[in-house]
Structure 1
Amino acid sequence: MRLANKHANVQNIRYSDFSGGLNTTDAVENIADNELSQAVNVEIYKGQLKTVAGNKAVYKDTSVTLDGIIYDSIEDKILLVDTSHKIYLFDDDKLTSKGTLTGTAEVQYAAWEDGVIIASGGKLQYYHGGVLETIADSPEVSRGVFIKNGRVCTFYDDILKFSGVGDETNWTQKSDDASSSQWLQVGYKDGGAIVGVTSLSSDMLIFKSNRHAYHLSGAYPDWSLAEIGRQIDCKTYHACVALAGSACVLGETRVQAVMTTNRYGDMMATDIGQKVYQDIEKLPV
C-alpha cells in the first residue's frame, strides 16, 4: 500500500526572537514574526521567552484581611496593612501589630534614613527601629510621598510640600532659610489634582488628574517646573514608574513612556501600548 504524502510539503519554522512583545490588537495572521498573539505563564526577557517564576503562599491568617504591603528596604522588613488600616510587622512567619495608619487612602511609601516614610491620606508616619511614629508637624493630608534632594516630599490636590533638608520633622517654612520646609503649586488653576509622581534620573515627573504632566528639575531655590504634555493619563497613584531611561505611566486605555528628547532636554510622551490597548481597558481600577 502506498503511504499518504499529505504532509510532504509541510515546512517547520523555528522562532527565537520575541522582542516585539504581545500583540492582541491585530489579527493573528497579521502580526509580525517577532510578536506573540497570546502568552500564558511566560514573560519576555531580552527578546526571549522565559517561564514566569510563579508564587507561593508565605502566610495565611483568617483573623485578618490584608489589603496592602510596605517593604522597608533599609531594614529589610515587610509591613502588612489590613482593611482596618492597621499595620503589622511580618517576621518569623508571624504578625506583630505596630499601630494604625493616620489615613484611609491608598498607601505609598519611600525609604528614608534608617526606615520608611508612609503616606496614607493623613499625617505622614515613619517606621524605623521597630517603631511606627506619626510625624506631628507634617501636613494634615498626605496622598503620596517621595524623596528629593534630601527632603521628604508629599502632595495633596495640586500642592507639593517639602520637609526641611535632612529633617522629616521640619515642616515650617522660613523666608531667610533655604534649607527649611518649602512648597510648590503644580499647574496653577488648571483644574487637576496630583495623582502620581515618579523619578527620571535626578528629576521628577508629576502627573495630574486632568492629564496634564509636569517636569520638576533642580533643587530649591533653583528648581524649575515645566509642563511637558496635556494628554498623559495616569490611572492611579501607583500607575507611574521609572524604567531604564524613561518613565512609564499607565492610563485608562494606554501605556505611555515619557523620555528626554534631543531638543534642548525637552521631554515627550510616546504611546507604547497600542498593540494591547484592549487588554489595558480591561484592567481593574
Structure 2
Amino acid sequence: MPVQSRKNPNSKDKVYSDFRGGGLNLGASERFLSEKEVAGGKNFCYERNGGRFRTLEPLELAATAAGTVTSLYWSLNFGMIFSCGQALYRIVDGAPVSIGTLSGTDLPVYCDWGEEAERRLFVASGSIIQWYDGKQFVTQTPVPVDKTDPSGGDKWNTANDVMVREGRLLLSRTGRDRLRYSGIGDPENWQSEDEGSGDDIDVHTDADAQWLDVGYKEGGDIVRILPISRDLVIFRSDGSLYRLFSSFPDWTVIRVASQVEPVNRDAVAAVGNDIMFLDKDRGIRKVSAISDNDTDLAVTEKEGQKVNAWLAAHFTNDARLWTLPDRGEIWVKPNALNDVLCWNERYQGWTRIDLGSPVTAACEADGTVYLALGAKIYRLTDSSVSPAIRPEMEIELAPVFGSDRAMTDYQELCVTKDAAAVAELEIGRWWFKAAGSKTVKHQIYVADELRPVLRSSGGTVVLDKLVMRTAEVV
C-alpha cells in the first residue's frame, strides 16, 4: 500500500481558481505551468465579469446562406452584411437578401458613409468601389487610369481598402504605392487635375480629389492601411511600416519600423487605438502609438508570449484575425483548420475554440458575437431556448508531477452549471461527476503525474474552483 514519503511529509493544496493573467499556455513546458494556466482544451472562455472559465455560449442559428460565408460586417446603417465569394447579402428578418455581385474577387472591406438621407455603405473588393443605399447596389463609373501613378495601370477608384477620413473617401489598392482621397463631402469626385478648356474649364481645387505616394521607389507595395489614433498606419510588402500624420495639405509620412510582415492583409485589424496583426515569423504582434505627440510607433509581442511559437508554426495564407471590442477579445484563426485562439484583453489570457468545423468569418454587433461555420451564420447567446449548437467544453488544467509518484487524497470541485449540463472531472483513469454546485471527493489516486481535466456537455458550466491535495508517495 502506498505511504506518504518521509522526505515530503506535508501535503500541498493545488488550487485552480481565478484564471486572470493565466489561460492557455502553449509556449512553456507543462512542468512549469501555474494553477492559473491550462495546457489545452476547447470551447472555454472567460466570463464577461470575472476571471473564471466557462463554456462558450450556445450558438443560435441567425441565417443560412447559399454558400460558404467569407465575411461578416455589422453596418450601422443597414444591419448585418455578409459575402459568399463575390455575392453580397444582408440579413432581413432572419433571411438573406441579395444585394448584388462584388466587382472584385478579394475579401471585401466595408465602411459606412454619410448622414440621414445620403447614408451609404461603401465596399472595396480589389476592383472598382461600390456602394449600397438600402435600395440599389451601384458600381461607380470607372475613372480613367491615373497616369501619374508610378505603379501604372490603376484606375482612380479601384481599391482593397476604403474608409472615411475628414469628409473624404480614402482608397488604397494592394500592390500600389498610392493613397487616393475623394473630394470633400463627395465620394464621386475623383477629379485630380483641371478638366475642360476655355470657358468650360473646371479648375482643380483643394476640395477636389487628392493623392499621396507612400514608400515611392522602395521595394514592395502597400499591403494594408488602418487608422491609429489620429493618424494612418501603412503596412508594406517589404516589411516596412509607415505612419501618416496630419491632413492635406500638411501631410507628413515617416517610416517607423521594419521587419513587420503580416501573413496576409486579412490578418491585420484595428483594435481601439492600436493595431493587431499576425506576423508570419513571430506570431501575433501589436502596433501602438507611444504618445499622441510622438512620431514613433511601438511594435510589441506581449500578448502573444504564451502562444506565438505555436502560432508561427501553424500559419498558412488562410490565417484570419477578428476583433470583438465589446467582448474584449481578439480571435486568431491560424489556418484553414478548426482551431481559433482567443485573447481576452480584460483578463490577459488565451482560450481556445474548436466547434468541429472551421470558423470562416466573425464580427460583433451591438455586443453580440456572430460567426459563420460554412454556410451557417450563428449568434452566441445564453438566452436561446433551443440553440442549434451547445459546445462541449474541455479544460486541461496544469498537471502535477511527482519526483517518484504523486498522490491526491482530497479534491474539491466547485462548479455552477445549467440543469441540463453534465460536468465530469478526470484524473488519469479516475472519473467523477459534478452533481451540483459543489462536489467533494475523498479518494486516493497514485500516478507518476496527475492531470486534472474538466469536461462538460449539454449546457453551460462555470469552473469556480478545483482544490487537489497532493503529496509524494513511496
TM-score normalised over the length of structure 1: 0.86
Q: Does the 8 A contact of 1:66 with 1:80 survive in 2?
A: no
Paired position in structure 1 for 2:31: 29
1:57, distance to aligned residue in structure 2 (A): 2.7
Q: Does the 8 A contact of 2:104 with 2:128 survive in 1?
A: yes
Task: Report the CA distance shift for 1:10/1:246 in structure 2 as closer, same or farther (over 3 A).
Answer: same
Paired position in structure 1 for 2:183: 164
Alignment pair present for 1:100 and 2:101: yes
Paired position in structure 2 for 1:184: 212
CA distance in 2, matches of 1:75, 1:278: 41
Amino acid at match of 2:60: K
1:49, distance to aligned residue in structure 2 (A): 3.6
Paired position in structure 2 for 1:152: 169
1:5, distance to aligned residue in structure 2 (A): 6.7
Choose between structure 1 and 2: higher strand proportion: 2
What SS class does the counterpart of residue 306 from structure 2 fall into? helix
Paired position in structure 2 for 1:268: 298
Q: Does the 8 A contact of 1:67 with 1:82 survive in 2?
A: yes
**Structure 1 residue runs of 4 or more that deviate by more than 6 Å after TM superposition:** none
CA distance in 2, matches of 1:47, 1:94: 36
Task: Report the CA distance shift for 1:179/1:140 in structure 2 as closer, same or farther (over 3 A).
Answer: closer
Task: Report the CA distance shift for 1:267/1:80 in structure 2 as closer, same or farther (over 3 A).
Answer: closer
Task: Report the CA distance shift for 1:47/1:241 in structure 2 as closer, same or farther (over 3 A).
Answer: farther
Amino acid at match of 1:90: I
Task: Report the CA distance shift for 1:271/1:106 in structure 2 as closer, same or farther (over 3 A).
Answer: same
Deviations 1:72-99 (A, max 9, x none): 522242233223x122232123333222
Task: Report the CA distance shift for 1:211/1:162 in structure 2 as closer, same or farther (over 3 A).
Answer: same
Alignment pair present for 1:55 and 2:74: no
Match of 1:115 among 109, 120, 125: 120
Structure of greater Rg: 2
Q: Does the 8 A contact of 2:157 with 2:190 survive in 1?
A: no
Alignment pair present for 1:77 and 2:97: no
Deviations 1:99-154 (A, max 9, x none): 21111122111121113110011100011132211121453531221221221111
Paired position in structure 2 for 1:19: 21
Q: Does the 8 A contact of 1:74 with 1:115 survive in 2?
A: no
What SS class does the counterpart of residue 238 from structure 1 fall into? helix
Task: Report the CA distance shift for 1:238/1:100 in structure 2 as closer, same or farther (over 3 A).
Answer: same
What SS class does the counterpart of residue 280 from structure 1 fall into? helix
Match of 2:257 among 229, 240, 244: 229
Q: Does the 8 A contact of 1:199 with 1:241 survive in 2?
A: no
What SS class does the counterpart of residue 13 from structure 1 fall into? strand
1:160, distance to aligned residue in structure 2 (A): 1.1
Task: Report the CA distance shift for 1:116/1:14 in structure 2 as closer, same or farther (over 3 A).
Answer: same
Alignment pair present for 1:247 and 2:264: no
CA distance in 1, matches of 2:221, 2:104: 18
Amino acid at match of 2:171: T
Greater RCO, 1 or 2 (C-alpha within 8 Å, sep 6+): 2
Q: Does the 8 A contact of 2:183 with 2:207 survive in 1?
A: yes
Paired position in structure 1 for 2:223: 195
Long gaps (5+) in structure 1: none
Q: Does the 8 A contact of 1:261 with 1:268 survive in 2?
A: yes
What SS class does the counterpart of residue 216 from structure 2 fall into? coil
CA distance in 1, matches of 2:256, 2:162: 22
Fraction of identical pairs, as percent: 25
Task: Report the CA distance shift for 1:35/1:214 in structure 2 as closer, same or farther (over 3 A).
Answer: farther
Q: Does the 8 A contact of 2:167 with 2:184 survive in 1?
A: yes
Q: Does the 8 A contact of 2:63 with 2:96 survive in 1?
A: no
CA distance in 2, matches of 1:235, 1:202: 26
1:46, distance to aligned residue in structure 2 (A): 7.4
CA distance in 1, matches of 2:23, 2:181: 40
What SS class does the counterpart of residue 58 from structure 1 fall into? strand
Aligned residues: 280
Deviations 1:239-284 (A, max 9, x none): 2222244221212131111112269442121123242123323144
Q: Does the 8 A contact of 2:80 with 2:91 survive in 1?
A: yes
CA distance in 1, matches of 2:50, 2:217: 45
Q: Does the 8 A contact of 2:89 with 2:100 survive in 1?
A: yes
Paired position in structure 1 for 2:133: 128
Task: Report the CA distance shift for 1:228/1:54 in structure 2 as closer, same or farther (over 3 A).
Answer: farther
Q: CA RMSD in A?
A: 2.7
CA distance in 1, matches of 2:79, 2:192: 33
TM-score normalised over the length of structure 2: 0.54
1:70, distance to aligned residue in structure 2 (A): 4.6
Task: Report the CA distance shift for 1:19/1:39 in structure 2 as closer, same or farther (over 3 A).
Answer: farther
What SS class does the counterpart of residue 216 from structure 1 fall into? strand
